[in-house]
Amino acid sequence: MQHLHYRQLCLEMEPMELNKTKNVDRLGFRRVVCKGIFDKKKSIYVGPKPRSMSKGSENGFYVITPLFPIPNEPNSVKSPILVNRGWVPWYWKEKSLASIEADVVVDAATNKSRKANKPVSSGSQQNLLSKFWYNFNKPMIAEKQVSGDMHVEVVGIVRKSEITGILVPPNDPSSGKWFFVDVLELAKAMGFGEDTIYIEKTNKDMNENRPYPVPRHVQDLIRSKGVPLDNYFYSFLWYCLSVACFSKSSTIFMGRYKL
């Protein structure tokens, strides 16, 4: 209980500026605030992840999006960070894949028209998918690509990689399959360094109809470190049922074979 109380106090405190935080490993559950620019085209979907609601549960994904520095803005992040923007339904990933495929088709058509009358040697040919991943992994955003309405402020907590169970399959970055949050792997896939910070966005709004993505509610972080609270309820329920069944069976057995 003392640990939960401490966690609640941390989450209720005013967020610290990430740029002024010297040691993020000592933050615990203290929230941080940072500014930057989301590059949503580079988002990675991790899951499936269930979302518990009053009407039941629904499978979806966490959407992890890189937050880039704002050029010539001293209050923005100094280097790219990863942000878990929250939970989204499964069709978000389908739309993202469709958008990527469309971009690849347009890129191919443009490339073909430019080289229609030019001889191309085998050594200069570039695989389209490789070109796409090269563009995906560009680590910065050019100043001419930035407008004021792209600036965002993120409030969340610094997190580590997820601790997985034996039933969770390994991530397969080469095929775009991510089953759990591995900060180092995600940073590598996006072309960032090993010291990349990962922030999970939080909110205090209990409205289930809020727009997607739905950030993690602070109460979930207070109650549970890594396992949804519903899982504890189910485990306790099955434990009670098992004890009740065992007691009843023992009573029947002893009564039947009583000498």
Q: What is the mean pLDDT of the chain?
A: 80
Model pLDDT, residue 215: 94
Distance CA 18, CA 36 (A): 11
- Whole-model pTM? 0.73
Higher-confidence position of 167 and 107: 167
Q: Are the C-beta atoms of residues 180 and 166 closer than 8 Å to each other?
A: no
Q: Are 6 and 30 in contact (CB under 8 A)?
A: no
- Of the candidate ranges 7-11, 46-50, 90-94, 187-191, the one whose mean pLDDT is the lowest: 7-11
Q: Which two tokens stand for residue 68?
A: 């880039």
Tell me: pLDDT of 120 over 70.
no
User: Nearest 5°: CA angle at 108, between 104 and 113?
Assistant: 150
Question: Torsion over CA of 165, 169, 170 and 171, rounded to 10 degrees?
Answer: -120
Comparison of pLDDT for 5 and 77, the residue scoring more: 77
Annotated domain spans of the chain: 2-89+132-226, 227-259
What are the strands, taking DSSP E only, across the chain? 16-17, 32-38, 44-53, 56-68, 81-89, 151-158, 198-203, 216-217
Which has more pLDDT, 235 or 90? 90
pLDDT > 70? residue 15:
yes
Name which residue leads in pLDDT, 83 or 228. Answer: 83
